[in-house]
Amino acid sequence: MRNPLLVMLDWWLRRYWAADPARLGAALRGTPVTLITGASEGIGLALARRFAAAGHSVVLVARRADLLEKVAAELRGSHGVEAIALPLDLALPDAVERIAAALAERQLYVDVLVNNAGLGLAGPFLNHDPAEIDRLLNVNVKVATALMRRFLPDMCVRGRGGVLNVSSLGGYAPGPYQAAYYASRGYLIALTRALGFETRGQGVRVAVVAPGPVNTRFHARMGADNSLYRWLIPAGTPEGVARAAWRGFRWGKRVIMPGLLAWPMALAMHVTPAVILVPLMGMLLQQRGDDARR
């Protein structure tokens, strides 16, 4: 039996929705799935486990086919749901079209979109190869936006489903020495809030989760493990982030901040004058030791 409060919440989320017979049939054609990008490890893997445990069939997208197949097999065995591995480099120009084609071929439609894939770059902006910056913007900004534009309209036609974007607490501040990454996270927070307002009452949940540092391989990959923030700011776990994200998404929250320190830190970044905040962030994010010389 469903929680009566969730039933009431679903009714409230659909308060302006009206069925459109001309479009509804096509939008409901196929089997609903939750599409999760960056699902092979870290927060994406933890979220995949959460959605599968709740009975969602999942389509998992990431670059490494071996890891994806392993995760898909685990979810099928543990939760008895359909789990499809879709190995794909999201930085490819036609990544969104490839995803849409793969779903259509299998007669699936996206009921929930989880934009979790993200790339980071640490170090001075002027030291980054332009191709690396383009790749980051493609994955963190362009593809996330294109996936929402592709699948959110049909969610509104159906009057259910939603989008869960995985951003970062860093999206609330400029980030010297991780400048492009922090800017991309701020974009995703702002876009989510705006789309949540635009689609209010249409039955869809549009949320963004903004965790602080999380103990995954993400920081090491971009060469930031020796930065001061990794030593000063307590890091969460992927499971903790996924738990908070799932709970907040289910209850219709727009912005989800896991952990006790997240809201105070976001507020502090919001009210601190830029003349203080930007140098402070630079001190926290600047690489030290071997990473600083790369």
Place of tokens 């001061």: 228
State the maximum Cα–Cα separation within the chain, in Å, rounded to a whole number.
62
Q: Check if the beta carbon of residue 262 is closer than 8 Å to that of residue 172.
A: no
Tokens standing for residue 109? 């439609």
Q: How far apart are CA 90 and CA 62, in angstroms?
A: 8
Residues in the chain: 294
Annotated catalytic, 181? yes
Q: Check if the beta carbon of residue 255 is closer than 8 Å to that of residue 244.
A: no
Taking the CA atoms of 47, 192, 244 and 56 in sequence, report the sign of the dihedral they define: negative
Scored b (16 or more CB within 10 A) or e, 225-260 reads: bbbebbeeeebbbbebbbebbbebbbebbbbbbbbe
Scored b (16 or more CB within 10 A) or e, 49-75 reads: bbbbeeebbbbbbbeeeebbeebbeeb
Q: How far apart are CA 251 and CA 203, in angstroms?
A: 13
Q: How far apart are CA 250 and CA 2, in angstroms?
A: 12
Active-site pick, 181, 182, 187, 229: 181
Reported as type and span, the H/E element at residue 87 is strand 83-87
Question: Which residues are marked as active site?
Answer: 181
